Amino acid sequence: MSEEKQQEAITETEVSTVVADGAESTEATPDAPAGVVPTQDGRVRRDGDAGGAGGNRRNPRRARRAPRREERVRSEFDQKIISIRRVTRVMAGGRRFSFSVSIVIGNRKGKVGVGIGKAGDTQLAIEKAVRSARKNLIEIPLNKYQHIPHDVNIKLASSEVMIMPAPGRGLVAGSSVRTVLELGGVKDVTAKIFSRSKNKLNNARAAIAALKKLKA
In the prediction, which pLDDT does 61 show? 63
Cα(57)–Cα(38) distance, integer angstroms: 17
Beta strand pairing call for 171-172 and 189-193: parallel
Cα(204)–Cα(132) distance, integer angstroms: 14
Confidence of residue 27 (pLDDT cuts 50, 70, 90): very low
Which has the higher per-residue pLDDT, 34 or 148?
Answer: 148
Query: CA 103, 111, 209: angle at the middle one, nearest 5?
Result: 70
Three-state SS at 7: helix
In the prediction, which pLDDT does 23 show? 44
Query: What are the start-end ranges of the E strands in 44-77?
Result: 44-46
pLDDT of 17 strictly over 60: no
Quick one: what percent of the chain has pLDDT higher than 70?
A: 66
**Hey, what domains does the chain have and what are their CATH numbers?**
78-138 (3.30.160.20), 140-212 (3.30.230.10)
Among the residue ranges 36-40, 75-79, 167-171, the one predicted with the least confidence is: 36-40
Q: Please write the tens of the pLDDT for every residue from 119-171.
A: 999 999 999 999 999 999 999 999 989 999 999 999 998 999 999 999 999 99
pLDDT of 206 strictly over 80: yes
Count, in order, helices (H) and strands (E) of the chain. 4, 10
Which has the higher per-residue pLDDT, 25 or 201?
Answer: 201
Three-state SS at 188: coil
In the prediction, which pLDDT does 190 show? 95
Q: Please write the tens of the pLDDT for every residue from 171-185.
A: 999 989 999 999 999
Strand partners, 103: 81, 115
In the prediction, which pLDDT does 36 show? 56
pLDDT of 112 strictly over 80: yes
Which has the higher per-residue pLDDT, 63 or 180?
Answer: 180
Tell me the mean pLDDT in the region 43-68: 56
Q: Residue 140: left (phi > 0), alpha (psi -120 to 50), or beta?
A: beta
Tell me the mean pLDDT in the region 186-197: 93
**End-to-end alpha-carbon separation of the chain, Å?**
114
